[in-house]
């Protein structure tokens, strides 16, 4: 099954190329009647390829090679009104604009603020309080007692 699918890919690719060729020749040469859009490279298609080659001063072989198909494709796009395949156009190089240099702004340095030093206030010094001195307590003095007489 895989071999069959791989074999079908080139056939489908070739059929697609033939259909594009038919459509492009219909747009550019406007044959009457128009070519059918099928996958067959008919004798009518070969005649129209020769006509296109003659019109463009190419060797009339009836074979639509890559160069012919590319030229025909560009011409068909112009006729149909589609933009042609863009060719490389140089992109404008950006002009270098000088970038603004940053201006140096002076940094503000804080000025030293005087710190308030507390002024010493007079603290009261304790005054001497009188300490009580011992007051002499009277001592008992012996009183003479009467002595009996004999």
- Per the domain annotation, does 58 fall within a domain? yes
The pair of structure tokens assigned to 73 is 């494709």
- pTM, entire model: 0.52
**Residue at 122 is within a domain:** no
Using one digit for the tens of pLDDT, what is the confidence trace for 88-102? Answer: 555 555 555 656 666
CA nearest neighbour of 29 among 87, 84, 67, 68: 68
Residue 94 belongs to a domain: no
Residue 19, Cβ density class (10 Å: 0-12 exposed, 13-18 middle, ≥19 buried):
middle
The tally of domains found in the chain comes to: 1
Q: CA 78, CA 84: separation in Å to the nearest integer?
A: 7
Residue 76 lies in a domain: yes
Name the more confident of 23 and 81. Answer: 23
Q: Say if CB 27 and CB 35 are below 8 A apart.
A: no
Q: Which domain holds residue 38?
A: 2-80
The CATH number linked to 37 is: 1.10.101
């Amino acid at each position: 099954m895989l071999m069959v699918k791989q074999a079908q890919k080139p056939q489908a690719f070739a059929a697609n190329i033939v259909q594009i060729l038919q459509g492009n020749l219909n747009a550019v040469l406007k044959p009457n009647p128009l070519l059918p859009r099928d996958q067959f490279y008919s004798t009518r298609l070969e005649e129209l390829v020769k006509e296109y080659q003659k019109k463009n001063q190419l060797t009339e072989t009836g074979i639509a090679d890559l160069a012919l198909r590319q030229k025909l494709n560009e011409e068909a796009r112009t006729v149909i009104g589609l933009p042609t395949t863009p060719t490389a156009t140089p992109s404008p190089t950006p002009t270098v604009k000088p970038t603004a240099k940053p201006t140096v702004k002076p940094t503000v340095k804080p000025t030293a603020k005087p710190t308030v030093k507390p002024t010493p206030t007079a603290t009261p010094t304790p005054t001497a309080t009188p300490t009580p001195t011992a007051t002499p307590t009277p001592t008992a003095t012996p009183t003479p007692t009467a002595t009996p007489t004999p």
